[in-house]
């Protein structure tokens, strides 16, 4: 997935808003005024943070090297995903879907 694919996927979700509240390097997606995804625009490979169920967050980190505790976030509730080719598009979309669903 590219940054544009991630952006388009997020914006296709109902009531999603985007913004740059932390400066031009981090694109933020919200639903109901709550953040569900932060996309770094200044990093390659691409990384993004998603909200997760705490138990699921740990399981995902143990299972996939491309998933780490949320960078600059509450590590109990957030994961950072690195788009390095080791995860499928469907898996990446699933992480986004889960994050959105926690807040929608």
What are the structural domains, with CATH classification, of the chain? 3-103 (3.90.1150.30)
pLDDT per residue of the chain (104 residues) written in tens, 0 to 9: 999 999 999 999 999 999 999 999 999 999 999 999 999 999 899 999 999 999 999 999 999 999 999 888 888 899 999 999 999 999 999 999 999 999 98
Distances (CA, A) of 69 to 46, 65, 66, 80, 102: 16, 11, 10, 6, 18
Q: Helix, strand or coil for residue 55?
A: helix
Residue 27 CA, distance from chain mean position: 11
Query: What CA–CA distance (Å, rounded) separates 61 from 83?
Result: 14
Enter the DSSP assignment of 42: S
The verdict on pTM exceeding 0.85 is yes
């Amino acid at each position: 997935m590219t940054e544009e694919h991630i952006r388009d996927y997020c914006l296709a979700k109902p009531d999603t808003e985007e913004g740059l509240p932390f400066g031009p390097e981090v694109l933020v997606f919200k639903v109901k005024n709550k953040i569900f995804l932060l996309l770094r625009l200044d990093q390659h490979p691409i990384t993004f943070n998603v909200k997760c169920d705490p138990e699921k967050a740990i399981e995902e980190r143990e299972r996939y090297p491309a998933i780490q505790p949320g960078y600059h976030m509450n590590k109990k509730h957030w994961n950072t995903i690195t788009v390095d080719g080791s995860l499928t598009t469907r898996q990446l979309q699933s992480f986004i879907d889960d994050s959105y669903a926690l807040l929608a």
